[in-house]
């Protein structure tokens, strides 16, 4: 299972704080890239694509910032969020 999380404005826009996916639902591989994960999500929820494309979205895999070519595997936690504004 892959745990997917959305935060802050992105969470509000998608109206979704997160979801769990089985990696087998995504591909017949044991690992896939973030890019492919996004393609899968955009395919399921067509409106999400423009939400992602109209702003800067950061990606963290297991709490570390990564790029879209990063490979994820079963058990990973993938988070998507806008630029941070704490402090």
Give the residues lining the site for other proteins (CB under 8 A). Answer: 5, 7-9, 12, 60, 63, 65, 77, 79, 81-87
Q: Which one, 28 or 85, has the nearer CB to other proteins?
A: 85
Residue 2: strand pairing partners = 21
Alpha carbon of residue 75 to chain centroid: 14
Number of H helices, E strands in the chain: 4, 7
8: left (phi over 0), alpha (psi -120 to 50) or beta: left
Q: Which one, 24 or 55, has the nearer CB to other proteins?
A: 55
Task: Give CA–CA dist 59/34, Å, rounded.
Answer: 9
Provide, rounded to whole angstroms, the least separation between the CB of residue 18 and other proteins: 11
Q: Which one, 1 or 65, has the nearer CB to other proteins?
A: 65
Provide, rounded to whole angstroms, the least separation between the CB of residue 84 and other proteins: 5
Provide, rounded to whole angstroms, the least separation between the CB of residue 8 and other proteins: 3
């Amino acid at each position: 299972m892959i745990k997917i999380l959305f935060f802050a404005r992105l969470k509000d826009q998608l109206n979704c704080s997160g979801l769990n996916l089985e990696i087998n639902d995504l591909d017949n591989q044991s690992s896939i890239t973030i890019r492919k994960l996004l393609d899968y999500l955009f395919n399921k929820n067509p409106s999400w694509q423009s939400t992602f494309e109209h702003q800067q979205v950061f990606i963290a895999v297991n709490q570390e910032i990564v790029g879209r070519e990063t490979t994820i595997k079963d058990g990973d936690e993938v988070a998507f969020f806008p630029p941070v504004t704490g402090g």
